[in-house]
C-alpha cells in the first residue's frame, strides 16, 4: 500500500517526511499539522523497509506516542510492533533496568512516585531536627519542589529561591541540607525518583561507550516530539543516542516554548542546528486552524522576539473580520464586557467552543462571579475555581460571621488556624456563645489568644455596619498574618487572589448579595460536563487546544506579562511566546482585552495602566480597536479614509498617555522606559514610534509618549 503524499501532505510536510537521512529540525508553527507529519514519517520509514525496531519515538506523554503509532499503523495497514515509542522517562527506566549494575544498583532499584519522594523529604527533615516548632516551615511538597526544580533546571537552590520563591530564602540552608539528605537516603535504600531516571541515563550514556554505541546502532532513526519542551538533560540524552550526525529528527516550535518553570530550555531547539552537524531545517508554516487575520496578528507578535527561527504563518482560511482589541475603562468593567461578548458568541457557537484565557488563575475570579450571576456554566482549567480556593473560603467565613453569627460552618473555618482548637472544641465554643456561657468563653479566650483576637475583631465589625468593601478591608488586614502562617509556602500567590476579591467587593453595597454571588457553587457533577460550558483557562493549560472564539483578558503590564517577567529579558521573551500560544488557539474570532485602569486596594481608587508591550507593538493594520464608552457600551471609532492607518478616534474616552515635549520626531540617541530602562534609539517610525535597543531586553518598538529622551 503506497502512501498518498500528494493529497495528504503539503510541500513542507512532504519534505519533512521524506528527508530521512541525517539530522533534521522541523519548526512546526502553531496548527501546522505537526502530529500528521510525524505519523506519516513513521509510516514512510517502515514502507521504505526500515525495521520498526530500529525506530525510537520520544514524546512527552505516553498517550501521544500511542496515538502516533496507531495512526501510522492505520496508514500502513500493518502493525508497527517493535517500535520503541514513549516518554523520555519510560525509555530511561527500561534502559536503566537492563543496566542497573552499571549505575551502582547490584540488586536493582525501586522507582518511587511523588508521594514517596515527599515523605522521604519529610523524614529527612525530621531526622535532621529541622523546623521544630516552626508552624511556618515549608511543607513536604514544597521541600521536594525546591529539590526537583534545582535538578531539572540545573541551578542551585539559592538561584531557584531568588527567581521564584524569595519569601522562602530564610530556609536556604535547610533546603540544601534536606537535598543532600534526600540524595543520600535514596542511594542507601536503592530508590530512584523520576528525575533520577533522566540523570542516571545521562551519566550512563556519557561513561559507558559500548552501551552508547549499541543504542546508536539499534536506533537508526530517532524522532523527538515537542523538542522546545526538553530540558538540558533530555537534550544531552538525545545527543548521546543519535551521535552528532545520526538520523535524528526533532519536531517543535521555539515560539511555543512556555515551560521554563518546569525546566524546559528554549536554547535546546534554537541551538539544535549547531549541535547536529549538517542539520536540515524545515519550516511548517501553513496553518490549518486559524483564519488569516488572526495569523497576521500572531506573526506580528513573533516579529518582536530577539532570538527565534523566522516563520510566517499563513492559511487558506479567509475572513473579513479582524481580531479586536477592546479597551474597557477598568478591570472592574472588563468582566461585564467579556460576559456580553460570550453571550454574543453564544449566538454562533456552542459555549464549549468559546474560551477566555488569562496569564494567572486568579485573574478570572471577577469573571467567574459575573458568569455565575447570569447563569452561564463554565469549566476552569489551570488555577483553582474562585469559590474553591482555601484562602478565599477563609476570608468569606469572616464575612459570613459578620452577617450571621449562627453559621457553625463559618465558625469552624474561621477558627481553623487556632492551634489546639479542633471541630469538637469549636462546637463547645459555639454552644457557649449561644447560651451566654461567659465563664467558658473567658477560659477559652485566656487559653487561646488568637480566639480572643478573632472574637474582638468580629464584634468590632458587627458594631459598625459599613459597605462590603470596607468590611473586607478590615478583614484582610486581620487575616494577613494568618495567611502567612497558614500558607507559608505560597502566600504571595494567594495574595493576588485576595486583591481580586477586594476588587469584586467594590461593586457591591449589600453584604448579603456579595456573599450570595461569591458562594454559589456549581454542582460538582456539572464539572464533568464538557457540553455547553464556557472554558476558562490559563494560557499554559490551553496549549495544544483550540476554540472558535477566544478572548484574552488583562493584557496590561504586571498582569500579562507578569510583574516577575518584567525583571529579566529571557522571562519577558517567554511571556511573548505565551502571548503567541494564546492567540493561536483561536480559529475564527479573537478578542484582546486591555483595561485602561486597575483597581488598587491600597488607595481605594482605579489607577491607569500601561498596555502590554505585546499590544503596543502591534501595527494598527492587524486589528480593530473598540473602546468602552462612559455609557457602558463598546464603540468602534471612525477611521480615516486611508487603508487601515493608526486608529484616530473622535471623542475617545480612553485616557491617552501624557504628551511628551521631548518626543520630537526622528530624535535619535539614548532614551529611558519605565519598565525596560535605558536603551539606544535605532529608528523612528511614523507617526510616533521608535525602535529601541534596550540594554538586557533587546529591540522593542515603543510609542514615543512612553519614552523619556536623555
Q: What torsion, rounded to 10 degrees, do the Cα atoms 594, 599, 603, 608 define?
A: 20
> 136 a known binding residue?
no
Contacting residues for 191 by C-beta, under 8 A, at least 6 apart: 109, 110, 112, 116, 120, 185
pLDDT at 56: 95
**pLDDT tens-place string over residues 534-573:** 999 999 999 989 999 999 999 998 899 988 887 788 889 9
pLDDT at 530: 66
> 346 a known binding residue?
no
User: Quick check: 491 and 167 in contact, CB under 8 A?
Assistant: yes
Cα atoms found within 13 Å of the Cα of residue 561, Cβ hemisphere only:
23
Contacting residues for 633 by C-beta, under 8 A, at least 6 apart: none
- In angstroms, the first-to-last Cα distance of the chain is 70
- Residue that the C-alpha cell 535597543 belongs to: 693
Q: Decide if pLDDT at 121 tops 90.
A: yes
pLDDT at 299: 95
3-state secondary structure of 363: helix
User: Quick check: 572 and 561 in contact, CB under 8 A?
Assistant: yes
Inter-helix orientation angle 88-98/232-242, to 10°: 60
pLDDT at 524: 37
> 35 a known binding residue?
yes
**pLDDT tens-place string over residues 657-667:** 444 434 444 55
Q: Decide if pLDDT at 654 tops 50.
A: no
Mean pLDDT of 3-21: 88
CA-to-CA distance for 599 and 619, rounded, in angstroms? 28
> 133 a known binding residue?
no
> 34 a known binding residue?
yes
> 565 a known binding residue?
no
Q: Residue 440: how many CB atoms within 10 A of its CB? A: 14
Q: What share of the chain is helix, strand, coil (3-state, %, to 5)?
A: 50, 15, 35
Q: Decide if pLDDT at 274 tops 80.
A: yes
- Residue that the C-alpha cell 495497514 belongs to: 77
- Residue that the C-alpha cell 494567594 belongs to: 494
> 28 a known binding residue?
yes
pLDDT at 437: 87
CA-to-CA distance for 465 and 477, rounded, in angstroms? 17
Conformational region of residue 357, where left means phi above 0, alpha means psi within -120 to 50, and beta covers everything else:
beta
User: Quick check: 131 and 125 in contact, CB under 8 A?
Assistant: yes
User: Quick check: 626 and 326 in contact, CB under 8 A?
Assistant: yes
> 582 a known binding residue?
no
Give the H or E element holding residue 337.
helix 331-346
| Helix residue spans in 435-528 (DSSP H) | 438-447, 449-463, 468-486, 491-505, 511-519
**CA–CA distance from 412 to each of 95, 409, 421, 430 (Å)?**
52, 5, 9, 9
pTM, two decimals, is 0.80
Q: Decide if pLDDT at 653 tops 80.
A: no
Amino acid at each position: 500500500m503506497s502512501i498518498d503524499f500528494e493529497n495528504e501532505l503539503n510541500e513542507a510536510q512532504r519534505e519533512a517526511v521524506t528527508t530521512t537521512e541525517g539530522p533534521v529540525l522541523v519548526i512546526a508553527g502553531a496548527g501546522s499539522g505537526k502530529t500528521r507529519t510525524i505519523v506519516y514519517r513513521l509510516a514512510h520509514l517502515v514502507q521504505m523497509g526500515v525495521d520498526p525496531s530500529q525506530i525510537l519515538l520520544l514524546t512527552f506523554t505516553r498517550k501521544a506516542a500511542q496515538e502516533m503509532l496507531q495512526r501510522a499503523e492505520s496508514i500502513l495497514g500493518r502493525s508497527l510492533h517493535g517500535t520503541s515509542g514513549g516518554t523520555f522517562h519510560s525509555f530511561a527506566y527500561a534502559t536503566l533496568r537492563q543496566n542497573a549494575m552499571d549505575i551502582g544498583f547490584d540488586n536493582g532499584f525501586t522507582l518511587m512516585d511523588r508521594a514517596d519522594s515527599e515523605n522521604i523529604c519529610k523524614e529527612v527533615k525530621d531526622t535532621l531536627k529541622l523546623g521544630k516548632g516552626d508552624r511556618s516551615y515549608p511543607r513536604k511538597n514544597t521541600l521536594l519542589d525546591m529539590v526537583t526544580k534545582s535538578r531539572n533546571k540545573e541551578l542551585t537552590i539559592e538561584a531557584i529561591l531568588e527567581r521564584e520563591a524569595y519569601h522562602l530564602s530564610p530556609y536556604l540552608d535547610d533546603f540544601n541540607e534536606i537535598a543532600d539528605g534526600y540524595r543520600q537516603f535514596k542511594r542507601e535504600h536503592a530508590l530512584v525518583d523520576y528525575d533520577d531516571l533522566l540523570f542516571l541515563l545521562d551519566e550512563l550514556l556519557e561513561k559507558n561507550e559500548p552501551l552508547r554505541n549499541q543504542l546508536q546502532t539499534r536506533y537508526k532513526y530517532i524522532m523527538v516530539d515537542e523538542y522546545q519542551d526538553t530540558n538540558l538533560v533530555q537534550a544531552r540524552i538525545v545527543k548521546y543516542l543519535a551521535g552528532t550526525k545520526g538520523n535524528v529528527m526533532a519536531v517543535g516550535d521555539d515560539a511555543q516554548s512556555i515551560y521554563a518553570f518546569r525546566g524546559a530550555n528554549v536554547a535546546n531547539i534554537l541551538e539544535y542546528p549547531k549541535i547536529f552537524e549538517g542539520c536540515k531545517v524545515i519550516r511548517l508554516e501553513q496553518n490549518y486552524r486559524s483564519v488569516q487575520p488572526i495569523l497576521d496578528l500572531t506573526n506580528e507578535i513573533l516579529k518582536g522576539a530577539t532570538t527565534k527561527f523566522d516563520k510566517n504563518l499563513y492559511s487558506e482560511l479567509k475572513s473579513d473580520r479582524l481580531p479586536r482589541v477592546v479597551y474597557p475603562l477598568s478591570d472592574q468593567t472588563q468582566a461585564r464586557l467579556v460576559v456580553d461578548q460570550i453571550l454574543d458568541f453564544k449566538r454562533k457557537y456552542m459555549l464549549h467552543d468559546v474560551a477566555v484565557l488569562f496569564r494567572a488563575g486568579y485573574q478570572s475570579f471577577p469573571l467567574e462571579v459575573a458568569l455565575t450571576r447570569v447563569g452561564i456554566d463554565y469549566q476552569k482549567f489551570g488555577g483553582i475555581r474562585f469559590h474553591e480556593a482555601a484562602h478565599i473560603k477563609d476570608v468569606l467565613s469572616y464575612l459570613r460571621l459578620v452577617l450571621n453569627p449562627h453559621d457553625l460552618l463559618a465558625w469552624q473555618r474561621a477558627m481553623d488556624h487556632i492551634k489546639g482548637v479542633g471541630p469538637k472544641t469549636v462546637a463547645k465554643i459555639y454552644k457557649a456563645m449561644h447560651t451566654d456561657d461567659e465563664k467558658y468563653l473567658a477560659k477559652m479566650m485566656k487559653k487561646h489568644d488568637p480566639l480572643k483576637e478573632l472574637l474582638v475583631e468580629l464584634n468590632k465589625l458587627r458594631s459598625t455596619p459599613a459597605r462590603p468593601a470596607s468590611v473586607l478591608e478590615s478583614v484582610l488586614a486581620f487575616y494577613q498574618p494568618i495567611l502567612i502562617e497558614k500558607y507559608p509556602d505560597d502566600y504571595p500567590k494567594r495574595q493576588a487572589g485576595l486583591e481580586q476579591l477586594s476588587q469584586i467587593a467594590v461593586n457591591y453595597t449589600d453584604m448579603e448579595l456579595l456573599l450570595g454571588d461569591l458562594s454559589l457553587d456549581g454542582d460538582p457533577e456539572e464539572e464533568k460536563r464538557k457540553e455547553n460550558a464556557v472554558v476558562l483557562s490559563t494560557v499554559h493549560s490551553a496549549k495544544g487546544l483550540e476554540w472558535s472564539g477566544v478572548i484574552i483578558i488583562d493584557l496590561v503590564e504586571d498582569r500579562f506579562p507578569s510583574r516577575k517577567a518584567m525583571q529579566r529579558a529571557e522571562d519577558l521573551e517567554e511571556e511573548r511566546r505565551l502571548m503567541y500560544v494564546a492567540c493561536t488557539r483561536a480559529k475564527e474570532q479573537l478578542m484582546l482585552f486591555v483595561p485602561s485602569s486597575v483597581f488598587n486596594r491600597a488607595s481605594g481608587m482605579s489607577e491607569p495602566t500601561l498596555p502590554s508591550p505585546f499590544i503596543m507593538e502591534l501595527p494598527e493594520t492587524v486589528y480593530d480597536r473598540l473602546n468602552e464608552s462612559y455609557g457602558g457600551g463598546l464603540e468602534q471609532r471612525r477611521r480615516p479614509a486611508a487603508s487601515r492607518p493608526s486608529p484616530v478616534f473622535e471623542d475617545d474616552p480612553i485616557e491617552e498617555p501624557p504628551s511628551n515635549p521631548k518626543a520630537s520626531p526622528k530624535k535619535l540617541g539614548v532614551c529611558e522606559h519605565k519598565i525596560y530602562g535605558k536603551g539606544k534609539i535605532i529608528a523612528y517610525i511614523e507617526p510616533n514610534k521608535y525602535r529601541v535597543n534596550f540594554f538586557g531586553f533587546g529591540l522593542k518598538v515603543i510609542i514615543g509618549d512612553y519614552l523619556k529622551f536623555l
